[in-house]
Structure 1
Amino acid sequence: MKFSENWLREWTNPQWDTNELSEALSLAGLEVDGAEPVAGAFTNVVVGHVLSIEKHPDADKLNVTQVDVGEDEPVQIVCGAKNVVAGMKACCAKVGAVLPGDFKIKKAKLRGVPSHGMLCGATEIGLPDDGVDGLFVLPDDAPVGMDVRAYLDLNDFTIDVDLTPNRADCFSVLGLARDVFAISDADFTQPFEDKEMSGTTACSQKVVIAEPQSCPKYLGCMVTGFDTQASTPAWMVQKLQRSGLRSLSLVVDITNYVLLELGQPMHAFDMDCLNGDIQVRMANSGEKLTTLDEKEITLSENTLVIADDSGVIALAGIMGGLSTSVTDSTTKIFFECAHFARLAITGKARQYGLHTDSSMRFERGVDPKLPERALNRALQLFTEVAGGEVSAVESIVSDADLPKAAVIDLRRQTIASRLGVEIADEKVEQIFKDLGFSIAATDSGWSVTAPSFRFDMAIEMDLIEEIGRVFGYNNLPETPVMAPMTLNELPESEQSLNALKTGLVQRGYNEVVTYSFVAEDKQQAIAPNLPYVLLKNPISDDMKAMRTTLFPGILQSVAYNQNRQQSRVRLFETGLVFYKNDSDPTGATQIPMFGGAIVGPALASGWDMDSRNADFYDLKGDVETLLSMSHQLDKVRFEPCQNSALHPGQSASITVDGKEIGVMGQLHPQLVKTMGVSGTVFMFQIRQDALMTMAVPSANAISKFPEMQRDLAFVVEESLPVQNLIDAVVSVKSDILQSVDIFDIYRGQGIEDTQKSVAITLRIQHQDRTLQDEEVESLVLEILAAAKQAVNAELR
Structure 2
Amino acid sequence: MKFSENWLREWTNPQWDTNELSEALSLAGLEVDGAEPVAGAFTNVVVGHVLSVEKHPDADKLNVTQVDVGEAEPVQIVCGAKNVVAGMKACCAKVGAVLPGDFKIKAAKLRGVPSNGMLCGATEIGLPDDGVDGLHVLPSDAPIGMDIREYLDLNDSSIDVDLTPNRADCFSVLGLARDVHAISGAPFTQPFVDQDMAGSTACTQNVVVTESQACPKYVGCVVTGFDANAKTPAWMVQKLQRSGLRSLSLVVDITNYVLMELGQPMHAFDLDALQGDIQVRMAKAGEKLVTLDEKEITLADDTLVIADDSGAIALAGIMGGLSTSVTDSTTKIFFECAHFSRLAITGKARQYGLHTDSSMRFERGVDPMLPERALNRALQLFTEIAGGEVSSFESIVSEIYLPKPAVIELRRETIANRLGVAVADEQVQQIFTDLGFAIQDSDAGWTVTAPSFRFDMAIEMDLIEEIGRVYGYNNLPETPVMAPMTLNELPESEQSLKALKTGLVQRGYNEVVTYSFVAEDKQKAIAPDLPYILLKNPISDDMKAMRTTLFTGLLQSMAYNQNRQQARVRLFETGLVFYKNESEPTGATQVPMFGGAIVGPAKVAGWDMDSRNADFYDLKGDVETLLSMSHKLDKVRFETCSNPALHPGQSASITLDGTEIGVMGQLHPQLVKTMGVSGTVFMFQIRQDALLTMDVPKASAISKFPEVQRDLAFVMDANQRVQELIDAVTSVESDILQSVDIFDIYRGQGIDETQKSIAITLRIQHQDRTLQDEEVENLVAEILTAAKAVNAVLR
Mapping for residues 377-388 of structure 1, pairs under 5 Å: 377-388=377-388
How far apart, CA to CA, are the structure 2 residues paired with 1:207 and 1:636?
Answer: 69
Question: Mean alpha-carbon deviation: is it higher for 486-495 or for 412-421?
Answer: 486-495
How far apart, CA to CA, are the structure 1 residues paired with 2:642 and 2:59?
Answer: 85
Counterpart residue number, 1:74? 75
Aligned amino acid, residue 319 of structure 2? M
How far apart, CA to CA, are the structure 1 residues paired with 2:659 and 2:127?
Answer: 71
C-alpha distance after superposition, 1:297-324 (max 9, x if no partner)? 3434443332222222222222222211
User: 1:391 Cα shift?
Assistant: 2.5
Aligned amino acid, residue 518 of structure 1? V
Given the superposition, is the C-alpha separation of residues 737 and 409 from structure 1 closer, same or farther in structure 2, using an over 3 Å criterion? closer
How far apart, CA to CA, are the structure 2 residues paired with 1:321 and 1:35?
Answer: 35
Given the superposition, is the C-alpha separation of residues 250 and 506 from structure 1 closer, same or farther in structure 2, using an over 3 Å criterion? same
Tell me the C-alpha RMSD between the 2 structures: 3.2
Given the superposition, is the C-alpha separation of residues 84 and 604 from structure 1 closer, same or farther in structure 2, using an over 3 Å criterion? farther
Given the superposition, is the C-alpha separation of residues 707 and 410 from structure 1 closer, same or farther in structure 2, using an over 3 Å criterion? same
Counterpart residue number, 2:242? 242
Counterpart residue number, 2:218? 218
Counterpart residue number, 1:514? 514
User: 1:325 Cα shift?
Assistant: 0.7
3-state DSSP of counterpart to 1:790: coil
Counterpart residue number, 1:156? 156
Aligned amino acid, residue 433 of structure 1? T
Counterpart residue number, 2:691? 691
Question: Mean alpha-carbon deviation: is it higher for 626-635 or for 485-494?
Answer: 485-494
Q: 8 Å contact 2:408–2:448 — kept in the other structure? A: yes
Mapping for residues 596-635 of structure 1, pairs under 5 Å: 596-635=596-635
Q: 8 Å contact 1:94–1:116 — kept in the other structure? A: yes
Mapping for residues 26-425 of structure 1, pairs under 5 Å: 26-48=26-48, 72=73, 74-77=75-78, 79=80, 83=83, 88-91=88-91, 100=100, 120-425=120-425
Aligned amino acid, residue 754 of structure 1? T
Question: Mean alpha-carbon deviation: is it higher for 558-567 or for 784-793?
Answer: 784-793
Question: Mean alpha-carbon deviation: is it higher for 125-134 or for 353-362?
Answer: 125-134
Given the superposition, is the C-alpha separation of residues 736 and 450 from structure 1 closer, same or farther in structure 2, using an over 3 Å criterion? same
3-state DSSP of counterpart to 1:251: helix
Mapping for residues 692-707 of structure 1, pairs under 5 Å: 692-707=692-707
Q: 8 Å contact 1:729–1:787 — kept in the other structure? A: yes
Report the number of matched residues. Answer: 794
Aligned amino acid, residue 674 of structure 1? T
Aligned amino acid, residue 743 of structure 1? F
Counterpart residue number, 2:558? 558
Given the superposition, is the C-alpha separation of residues 399 and 638 from structure 1 closer, same or farther in structure 2, using an over 3 Å criterion? closer
Q: 8 Å contact 1:78–1:113 — kept in the other structure? A: no
Q: 8 Å contact 2:64–2:76 — kept in the other structure? A: no
Question: Mean alpha-carbon deviation: is it higher for 329-338 or for 311-320?
Answer: 311-320
3-state DSSP of counterpart to 2:790: helix
| Long gaps (5+) in structure 2 | none
How far apart, CA to CA, are the structure 1 residues paired with 2:114 and 2:709?
Answer: 110
Given the superposition, is the C-alpha separation of residues 770 and 264 from structure 1 closer, same or farther in structure 2, using an over 3 Å criterion? same
- TM norm structure 1: 0.91
Counterpart residue number, 1:527? 527
User: 1:255 Cα shift?
Assistant: 0.4
How far apart, CA to CA, are the structure 1 residues paired with 2:120 and 2:507?
Answer: 66
How far apart, CA to CA, are the structure 2 residues paired with 1:21 and 1:689?
Answer: 53
User: 1:643 Cα shift?
Assistant: 1.0
How far apart, CA to CA, are the structure 2 residues paired with 1:650 and 1:371?
Answer: 65
Counterpart residue number, 1:681? 681
Q: 8 Å contact 2:596–2:683 — kept in the other structure? A: yes
Aligned amino acid, residue 320 of structure 1? G
C-alpha distance after superposition, 1:23-63 (max 9, x if no partner)? 22222222223333334444555555556666678877666
C-alpha distance after superposition, 1:753-796 (max 9, x if no partner)? 3233334444444444555666555544544443333242442x
Aligned amino acid, residue 665 of structure 1? G
Paired-residue identity, %: 85
User: 1:373 Cα shift?
Assistant: 1.6
How far apart, CA to CA, are the structure 2 residues paired with 1:315 and 1:718?
Answer: 69
Q: 8 Å contact 2:158–2:243 — kept in the other structure? A: yes
Counterpart residue number, 1:18? 18
Question: Mean alpha-carbon deviation: is it higher for 635-644 or for 381-390?
Answer: 381-390
Aligned amino acid, residue 259 of structure 1? L
Counterpart residue number, 1:668? 668
How far apart, CA to CA, are the structure 2 residues paired with 1:103 and 1:752?
Answer: 100
3-state DSSP of counterpart to 1:691: helix
Given the superposition, is the C-alpha separation of residues 710 and 190 from structure 1 closer, same or farther in structure 2, using an over 3 Å criterion? same
User: 1:564 Cα shift?
Assistant: 2.9
Question: Mean alpha-carbon deviation: is it higher for 439-448 or for 552-561?
Answer: 439-448
How far apart, CA to CA, are the structure 2 residues paired with 1:581 and 1:693?
Answer: 26
User: 1:693 Cα shift?
Assistant: 1.2
How far apart, CA to CA, are the structure 2 residues paired with 1:59 and 1:559?
Answer: 69
Given the superposition, is the C-alpha separation of residues 696 and 274 from structure 1 closer, same or farther in structure 2, using an over 3 Å criterion? same
How far apart, CA to CA, are the structure 1 residues paired with 2:93 and 2:703?
Answer: 100
Q: 8 Å contact 1:52–1:86 — kept in the other structure? A: yes
3-state DSSP of counterpart to 2:558: helix
Aligned amino acid, residue 247 of structure 1? S
Question: Mean alpha-carbon deviation: is it higher for 396-405 or for 66-75?
Answer: 66-75
How far apart, CA to CA, are the structure 2 residues paired with 1:530 and 1:731?
Answer: 37
User: Within the alignment, does 1:454 sit opposite 2:454 as a pair?
Assistant: yes
C-alpha distance after superposition, 1:493-520 (max 9, x if no partner)? 0111111111112222222222221121
Q: 8 Å contact 1:78–1:110 — kept in the other structure? A: no
C-alpha distance after superposition, 1:523-567 (max 9, x if no partner)? 111111111122222232222221111111222222222233333
Q: 8 Å contact 2:78–2:110 — kept in the other structure? A: no
| Long gaps (5+) in structure 1 | none
Counterpart residue number, 2:644? 644
C-alpha distance after superposition, 1:260-282 (max 9, x if no partner)? 10011111000010112222333
Given the superposition, is the C-alpha separation of residues 62 and 572 from structure 1 closer, same or farther in structure 2, using an over 3 Å criterion? farther
Aligned amino acid, residue 216 of structure 1? P
Question: Mean alpha-carbon deviation: is it higher for 266-275 or for 347-356?
Answer: 347-356
Question: Mean alpha-carbon deviation: is it higher for 590-599 or for 273-282?
Answer: 273-282
How far apart, CA to CA, are the structure 1 residues paired with 2:280 and 2:554?
Answer: 47
Q: 8 Å contact 2:631–2:696 — kept in the other structure? A: no
Question: Mean alpha-carbon deviation: is it higher for 141-150 or for 676-685?
Answer: 141-150
Q: 8 Å contact 2:517–2:544 — kept in the other structure? A: yes
Given the superposition, is the C-alpha separation of residues 515 and 108 from structure 1 closer, same or farther in structure 2, using an over 3 Å criterion? farther
User: 1:140 Cα shift?
Assistant: 4.0
Given the superposition, is the C-alpha separation of residues 73 and 82 from structure 1 closer, same or farther in structure 2, using an over 3 Å criterion? closer
Q: 8 Å contact 2:636–2:656 — kept in the other structure? A: yes
Q: 8 Å contact 1:306–1:314 — kept in the other structure? A: yes
How far apart, CA to CA, are the structure 1 residues paired with 2:511 and 2:723?
Answer: 31
Aligned amino acid, residue 790 of structure 1? V
Aligned amino acid, residue 644 of structure 1? P
3-state DSSP of counterpart to 1:200: coil
Q: 8 Å contact 1:67–1:77 — kept in the other structure? A: no
Aligned amino acid, residue 323 of structure 2? S
C-alpha distance after superposition, 1:588-630 (max 9, x if no partner)? 1111111111122322344444433322222111111111111
Q: 8 Å contact 1:661–1:690 — kept in the other structure? A: yes
User: 1:167 Cα shift?
Assistant: 2.2
How far apart, CA to CA, are the structure 2 residues paired with 1:542 and 1:233?
Answer: 47
Given the superposition, is the C-alpha separation of residues 690 and 444 from structure 1 closer, same or farther in structure 2, using an over 3 Å criterion? closer
